Amino acid sequence: MSVWSRSLMVLAAGVALVGASGCSAGGAVEGPSTETSAPSASQSLQKVDPCKMLAPQDLKDFGLEGPGSPNTTLPWEPGCDYSRGDPITATVYKNMRQTVESAAKKPSWAMFKRIEVNGRSGAQAITKGATQARICSTMFNAGKGLIEVSVSESELPDDLDECAKSTEIAKRIEPEMPEPA
């Protein structure tokens, strides 16, 4: 074999090796990792599954039936719908673009009241379009975003405080969420 042919084969093998190591599509990496930093707060929030925020006993305690249905209407705000429940229905969202502070600036609120959820910055809010529908949301900061719990009364009569119920659920979820960034 000529020197030129061997050089070409070594070059081709080197290109294949570099390509295989640089273009891995999530395959396992052998050996110790060289990365020493912990995941960022936004990564922690990205790993949160809205349909796993409430344990089966929590669902039962609030009168919700599980499992919930994933709600992926907005990719940056995935949620989980619990549309079967008595006395309430609920949707739990994680929003990776907003914080309570930035959400407060939205012009869509009929009511936006600052509160704390287990010591975290939070708010109770009703959108202008939801005042007649009896829907109230409680949100709190988590990671580099927020967690939001929207509650509505599932049947008449309207004798339930939806904001109090959404806050009660948010307080149950909060201890398991990543700290605000």
What lies within 8 Å, CB to CB, of 145 at 6+ separation is 42, 45, 94, 95, 96, 97, 98, 99
Give residue 42's Cα distance to chain centre: 10
pLDDT digits (tens, 9 = 90+) for 80-124: 999 988 889 999 999 999 999 999 999 999 999 999 999 999 999
pLDDT at 169 over 50: yes
Provide mean pLDDT across the span 36-62: 78
**pLDDT at site 9:** 33
Give the confidence band of 130 by pLDDT, cuts at 50, 70, 90: confident
Give the confidence band of 79 by pLDDT, cuts at 50, 70, 90: very high
pLDDT digits (tens, 9 = 90+) for 135-168: 999 999 999 999 999 999 887 666 789 999 999 9
Strands 120-127 and 69-71: unpaired
**pLDDT at site 52:** 95
The edge-to-edge listing of strands for the beta sheet with 79-82 is 69-71, 79-82, 88-95, 145-153, 135-142, 120-127, 109-117
Cα separation, 26 vs 17, whole angstroms: 16
CB count within 10 Å of CB 141 equals 24
For the ranges 4-13, 21-30, 43-52, 106-115, the maximum mean pLDDT occurs at 106-115
